[in-house]
């Protein structure tokens, strides 16, 4: 029980015992009239003025019709009306507790995962649902974990981990996808139109993770083919045509959709729409693809998410979004043991995209929740990489242009 609840319980019990002058364990109508006078002395200075209110109150609170008020009935009234009207402490305390509980929600997202997910996440795929049904499938080393991503979820791990071949949804993945997945993207259409593209070692597989109604049919939409010969992904330039480390979509529809693909320290802005003639987006004056550190959005990534050379080859392993549009969008990027709370919102200011950055076996600082504005200090075995971040950025900063030179995949401000 919270501290304020303990205090209110003590105060209610003391008030009840004080009003129960005959020590009968219940309050009579006369004792309730005294209570009304004590709570509102300015409105009901005399017993005569308090009597009508006391009768009405007595009738409302005597829920069991016993002709007297037991402590439970008295306490219910106290919480609902009496203490709230007298000084507001009860209502204010409950609001404060509710706000604190809301701030705590979501702090545990992706921080405590079972092996092997605690050391590396290969792929994260959201189910596209909203609210309490929002979840993601995490892949690591051929294992699949069903994970709740709703902020208010009390249980995060919903099922697993189990081998992909035994998973009720991904059990149809053929080799090599049943043992390894490099990246995955969804077309976001849902239902029978849902398509998920799985990437592995230069191959692409079209699959569907959507809920299937009616007679069970195969989830395989196509056999694995070379990325270079795929109808949608055949325009991928090197090194993306042979390897994709991670993928993330901006979640927009139509021509405004942009998928960001990561490979060997580079990021590519791409669109998977079938009717687009040129899927590699124009991002003038910044080349596409470009190094992650030069990208107008992902240039804010810290070490080890920012791959800068042979000494720092970790980069982004996986990425997933909360599916919310606009400034409330949150993206989680994974690199080894680390998870980064990031924002890919188109109009986000440079230098403000990193929300928090911690190792997954650490607790989020109390003053840095899911929507905090300042990055959390990274500690733990990977903390040494963070100390070199400023030096790396200074050494690798482009001499011409800049992070504000252009925003690939932007849309007009509504």
Q: For residue 225, tell me if it sits in a domain.
A: yes
Specify whether 149 is located in the same domain as 77: no
Spatial contact of 235 and 207, defined as CB atoms under 8 Å apart: no
The last residue of one of the domains, among 103, 128, 160, is 103
Q: How confident is the model at residue 301, as a pLDDT?
A: 85
Q: Is the pLDDT at 138 greater than 90, yes or no? A: yes
Q: For residue 155, tell me if it sits in a domain.
A: yes
Q: Which tens digit of pLDDT belongs to each residue from 53-64?
A: 878 877 777 777
Q: How confident is the model at residue 6 (pLDDT cuts 50, 70, 90)?
A: low
107 or 402, which is more confident: 107
Q: Is the pLDDT at 336 greater than 90, yes or no? A: no
How far is Cα 174 from Cα 178, in angstroms, rounded to an integer?
A: 6
95 or 242, which is more confident: 242
Give the closest residue to 203 by CA, choosing from 173, 179, 182, 172: 182
Q: For residue 408, tell me if it sits in a domain.
A: no
Residues whose CB falls within 8 Å of the CB of residue 49, separated by 6 or more in sequence, listed in order: 43
Q: Is the pLDDT at 360 greater than 70, yes or no? A: no
Specify whether 233 is located in the same domain as 371: yes
Q: For residue 410, tell me if it sits in a domain.
A: no
Specify whether 91 is located in the same domain as 135: no
CATH of the domain at 76: 1.10.238.10
Structure tokens at 206: 């079209």
Q: Is the pLDDT at 287 greater than 50, yes or no? A: yes
Specify whether 73 is located in the same domain as 117: no
Q: Which tens digit of pLDDT belongs to each residue from 58-85?
A: 777 777 777 787 877 777 776 665 544 4
- According to DSSP, the residues that pair with 259 across neighbouring strands are 249, 270
Specify whether 120 is located in the same domain as 84: no
Spatial contact of 156 and 138, defined as CB atoms under 8 Å apart: no
18 or 321, which is more confident: 321
Give the closest residue to 152 by CA, choosing from 125, 137, 134: 134
Specify whether 168 is located in the same domain as 78: no
98 or 385, which is more confident: 98
Q: Output b/e per residue, 123-159; b: 16+ Cβ within 10 A.
A: bbbbbbeeeeebbbbbbbbbbbbbbbbbbebeebbee
Q: Which tens digit of pLDDT belongs to each residue from 25-39?
A: 788 888 778 777 776
Specify whether 193 is located in the same domain as 276: yes
- How many structural domains comprise the chain? 2
Spatial contact of 319 and 332, defined as CB atoms under 8 Å apart: yes
Give the rounded percent of residues in the chain with a pLDDT score beyond 70.
72
Specify whether 328 is located in the same domain as 188: yes
Give the closest residue to 263 by CA, choosing from 199, 321, 323: 199
Asked if the bond preceding 352 is cis, omega within 30° of 0, the reply is no
Q: For residue 405, tell me if it sits in a domain.
A: no
Minimum mean pLDDT among 60-64, 331-335, 352-356, 402-406: which range?
Answer: 402-406
Q: Is the pLDDT at 145 greater than 80, yes or no? A: yes
Q: How confident is the model at residue 8, as a pLDDT?
A: 64
Provide the 3-class DSSP secondary structure of residue 162: strand
Q: How confident is the model at residue 216, as a pLDDT?
A: 62
Lay out the sheet containing 259-263: strands in order across: 246-249, 259-263, 266-270, 290-291
Q: What is the mean pLDDT of residues 290-317?
A: 75
Q: Is the pLDDT at 106 greater than 90, yes or no? A: no
- Whose tokens are 């075995």? That residue is 381
Specify whether 220 is located in the same domain as 170: yes
Q: For residue 401, tell me if it sits in a domain.
A: no
Q: Determine how many CB atoms are found less than 10 A away from the CB of residue 243.
A: 17
Q: What does pLDDT average to over the chain?
A: 74
Q: For residue 191, tell me if it sits in a domain.
A: yes
How far is Cα 218 from Cα 221, in angstroms, rounded to an integer?
A: 8
Q: How confident is the model at residue 78, as a pLDDT?
A: 67
How far is Cα 348 from Cα 412, in angstroms, rounded to an integer?
A: 14
Residues whose CB falls within 8 Å of the CB of residue 67, separated by 6 or more in sequence, listed in order: none
Alpha-helix residue ranges (DSSP H) falling in 254-408: 383-387, 389-396
How far is Cα 330 from Cα 344, in angstroms, rounded to an integer?
A: 7
Q: How confident is the model at residue 7, as a pLDDT?
A: 61
Q: What is the mean pLDDT of residues 167-196?
A: 87
Specify whether 132 is located in the same domain as 35: no
Give the closest residue to 338 by CA, choosing from 357, 364, 351: 357
Beta strand 266-270 pairing with 259-263: antiparallel
Residue 340, φ and ψ in degrees, nearest 5:
-115, 125
Enclosing domain of residue 160: 113-396
CATH of the domain at 389: 2.110.10.10
φ/ψ region of 310 (left if φ > 0, alpha if ψ in -120 to 50, else beta) reads alpha
How far is Cα 303 from Cα 390, in angstroms, rounded to an integer?
A: 9
Residues whose CB falls within 8 Å of the CB of residue 408, separated by 6 or more in sequence, listed in order: 258, 269, 281, 282, 283, 286, 288, 296, 297
Minimum mean pLDDT among 19-28, 127-136, 315-324: which range?
Answer: 19-28
Q: How confident is the model at residue 163 (pLDDT cuts 50, 70, 90)?
A: very high
How far is Cα 138 from Cα 320, in angstroms, rounded to an integer?
A: 10
Specify whether 184 is located in the same domain as 264: yes
Q: How confident is the model at residue 352, as a pLDDT?
A: 78
Q: Which tens digit of pLDDT belongs to each residue from 227-285?
A: 999 988 989 999 999 999 999 988 887 778 889 999 988 999 998 877 777 888 887 78
Q: What is the mean pLDDT of residues 160-167?
A: 92
Give the closest residue to 98 by CA, choosing from 87, 90, 107: 90
Q: How confident is the model at residue 191 (pLDDT cuts 50, 70, 90)?
A: confident
Q: Is the pLDDT at 398 greater than 50, yes or no? A: no
Q: How confident is the model at residue 121 (pLDDT cuts 50, 70, 90)?
A: very high
Specify whether 195 is located in the same domain as 68: no
Would you list the DSSP string of 260-271? EEEETTEEEEE-
Give the rounded percent of residues in the chain with a pLDDT score beyond 90.
17
Beta strand 135-140 pairing with 143-148: antiparallel
Q: How confident is the model at residue 23, as a pLDDT?
A: 78
Q: Is the pLDDT at 202 greater than 70, yes or no? A: yes
φ/ψ region of 190 (left if φ > 0, alpha if ψ in -120 to 50, else beta) reads left
Residue 178, φ and ψ in degrees, nearest 5:
-70, -15
Helix axes 3-19, 89-104, angle to 10 degrees: 160
Beta strand 225-226 pairing with 246-249: unpaired
- According to DSSP, the residues that pair with 334 across neighbouring strands are 318, 339
pTM strictly above 0.85: no
Q: Which tens digit of pLDDT belongs to each residue from 380-390?
A: 334 444 444 44
The last residue of one of the domains, among 73, 103, 133, is 103
Q: How confident is the model at residue 165 (pLDDT cuts 50, 70, 90)?
A: very high
Q: For residue 347, tell me if it sits in a domain.
A: yes
């Amino acid at each position: 029980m919270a501290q304020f609840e303990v205090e209110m319980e003590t105060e209610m019990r003391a008030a009840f015992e004080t009003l129960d002058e005959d020590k009968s364990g219940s309050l009579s109508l006369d004792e309730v009239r005294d209570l009304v006078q004590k709570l509102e002395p300015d409105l009901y200075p005399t017993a005569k003025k308090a009597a009508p209110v006391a009768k009405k109150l007595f009738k409302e609170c005597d829920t069991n019709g016993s002709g007297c008020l037991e402590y439970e009935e008295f306490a219910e009234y106290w919480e609902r009306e009496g203490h709230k009207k007298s000084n507001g402490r009860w209502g204010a305390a409950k609001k404060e507790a509710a706000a604190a509980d809301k701030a705590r929600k979501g702090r545990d997202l992706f921080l405590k995962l079972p092996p092997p997910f605690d050391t590396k996440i290969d792929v994260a795929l959201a189910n596209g649902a909203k609210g309490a049904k929002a979840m993601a499938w995490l892949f690591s080393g051929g294992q699949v974990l069903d994970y709740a991503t709703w902020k208010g979820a009390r249980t995060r791990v919903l099922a697993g981990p189990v081998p992909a071949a035994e998973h009720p949804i991904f059990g149809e993945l053929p080799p090599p996808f049943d043992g390894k997945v490099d990246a995955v993207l969804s077309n976001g259409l849902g239902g029978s139109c849902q398509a998920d593209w799985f990437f592995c070692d230069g191959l692409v597989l079209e699959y569907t993770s959507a809920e299937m109604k009616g007679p069970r049919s195969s989830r395989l939409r196509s056999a694995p083919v070379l990325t270079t010969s795929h109808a949608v992904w055949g325009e991928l330039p090197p090194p993306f045509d042979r390897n994709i480390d991670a993928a993330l979509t901006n979640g927009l529809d139509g021509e405004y959709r942009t998928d960001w693909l990561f490979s060997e320290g580079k990021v590519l802005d791409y669109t998977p729409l079938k009717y687009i003639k040129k899927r590699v987006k124009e991002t003038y004056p910044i080349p596409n693809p470009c190094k992650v550190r030069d990208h107008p959005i992902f240039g804010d990534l810290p070490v080890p998410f920012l791959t800068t050379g042979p000494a720092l080859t970790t980069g982004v392993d996986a990425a997933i979004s909360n599916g919310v549009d606009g400034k409330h969008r949150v993206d989680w990027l994974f690199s080894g043991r680390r998870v980064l709370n990031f924002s890919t919102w188109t109009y986000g200011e440079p230098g403000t995209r990193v929300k928090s950055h911690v190792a997954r076996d650490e607790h989020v600082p109390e003053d840095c929740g899911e929507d905090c504005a300042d990055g959390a200090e990274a500690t733990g075995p990977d903390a040494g990489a963070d100390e070199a971040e400023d030096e790396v950025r200074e050494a690798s900063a482009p001499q011409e242009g800049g992070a504000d030179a252009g925003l690939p995949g932007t849309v007009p401000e509504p």
